Structure 1
Amino acid sequence: MNTTEFILERVAPIFNKQGYVGTSLTDISNVTGLTKGAIYCNFSNKEDLALKSFQYNINAAITPLFELVAATKGSLNKLHAITTYQRSYYDLVKDRGGCPMLRAGVDTKFINPMLFKSAQKLSQKFTTGLTNIINDGIVNNEINENTDSAQYAKIILSLIEGSSLLAFTHNDQTYISTAMDFINTSIIESIKK
């Protein structure tokens, strides 16, 4: 493991737990055991480190979901794969400070436009992916043709992110499992043919 990877492995969870504003250079030095100079030999500034830490957190928490969905056949199966993945999401990210997309989106909107834009792009990628899954299901005769795919994608993502926020706020993963049950029984069942 090179120095850059070492720094990201140590710092990414701290940024996600303490916030991108709330994490100081002293925190970064303490968790890595490196001097500020050594850190800045690997990153141009704190914003660069924050952006790469965000990507590191995404690779750990959300990229596996995208890979799972890509490997799953059929739109209904893909939607169910998402809800199944989300049921284990709380345990996956609870010690890392919660959902990195949610954390960065809320934490950086007014103070780090580049990082906020990355969170926003990820959210859009998620929405577009869900929309495409539903559209494919319509084309492949799995989902009712009168389904508004963009609207359902936004509802599903809102339930996923909202349940994550509440689960971490209350230290209670049943917010997520209840929302996933609702997506399965009330949303997916209502749009399938």
Structure 2
Amino acid sequence: MPTKAAQTKVHIIKTVAPVFNKQGYFGTSLKDITIATALTKGAIYGNFKDKNELALEAFKYNVNIITSKIEAVILQKHTAIEKLFAIAEFYADYYRFTFKYGGCPILNIGIDANHQNEVLLQKVRKAIDNIQNNISKIIQFGIQEKEINPTIDADYYARQIFARIEGAVFMTMTTKNEIYMKDMSIGLKIMIDKELIA
């Protein structure tokens, strides 16, 4: 059983994660953190060295919500093509899924941290690399299983897939219109069908 201190730390992260995601690093004040958690400044800094450490933990928490959901969806599928289609379908409803968390943490924090918080920006870049690498591995698996054209550059297509996804996320979040995510999902499936399948 986790100690009371460990439980408090988890409570703080879970509570402030959507706050940081919505308001950004500089937009989130210590007052916002104490109000959200109903804890004192001393309690916050008794568990975290500083605001930066808390922001990093909050970002990791938010990204884990997304990646664990994607992983669960992918694990239900058997072939590489099914897995790629499942990713496209997951992101079709991404706006509704992430709304309660304040939107896409990779997009939100990536924009917020750029030119302002190099440590946090590096975490965003690492999250992007991890997602793209996982997509690339699925494509490589498809090549090995002779589902996907062997001439395909897995890394190139992984970048293309994720760039299309994040572009649609930006448009959807900015306009508050899910049509961009829906259109992107359809477009990805067409691309997979026409360009990847052997």
Give yes or no for TM over 0.5.
Answer: yes
State, as a whole percentage, how many aligned pairs show the same letter: 35
TM (norm. structure 2) is 0.92
Matched, 1:29 2:31: no
Which position in structure 1 is the counterpart of 2:103? Answer: 98
**Which AA in structure 2 matches 1:14?**
V
RMSD over equivalenced CA pairs, Å: 1.4
**Which AA in structure 2 matches 1:7?**
I
**Alignment match of 1:133 (pick from 133, 138, 141):** 138
Alignment of 1:49-64 (within 5 A): 49-64=54-69
The answer to whether the 8 Å contact 1:94/1:168 transfers is: no
Which position in structure 2 is the counterpart of 1:182? Answer: 187
**Which AA in structure 2 matches 1:40?**
Y
**Alignment match of 2:71 (pick from 58, 66, 78):** 66
The answer to whether the 8 Å contact 2:18/2:62 transfers is: yes
CA distance in 2, matches of 1:114, 1:72: 35
Which position in structure 2 is the counterpart of 1:43? Answer: 48
Counterparts in 2 of 1:114 and 1:127: CA distance versus 1, 3 Å: same
Which position in structure 2 is the counterpart of 1:84? Answer: 89
CA distance in 1, matches of 2:101, 2:83: 26
* Structure 1 position 71, deviation (Å): 4.6
How many residues align structurally?
193
Matched, 1:157 2:162: yes
Which position in structure 1 is the counterpart of 2:124? Answer: 119
The answer to whether the 8 Å contact 2:92/2:184 transfers is: no
**Alignment match of 1:142 (pick from 141, 147, 152):** 147
Cα deviations across residues 43-92 of structure 1 (Å, max 9, x unaligned)?
11000000010111112222211233245321101101101111221111
The answer to whether the 8 Å contact 2:80/2:142 transfers is: yes
CA distance in 2, matches of 1:188, 1:133: 15
The answer to whether the 8 Å contact 1:86/1:176 transfers is: yes
SS of match in other structure, 2:47:
coil
**Which AA in structure 1 matches 2:125?**
Q
The answer to whether the 8 Å contact 1:90/1:173 transfers is: yes
**Alignment match of 2:9 (pick from 4, 10, 16):** 4
CA distance in 1, matches of 2:132, 2:117: 23
> Which runs of no fewer than 5 residues in structure 1 stay unpaired?
none
The answer to whether the 8 Å contact 2:63/2:127 transfers is: no
CA distance in 2, matches of 1:30, 1:186: 47
TM (norm. structure 1) is 0.94
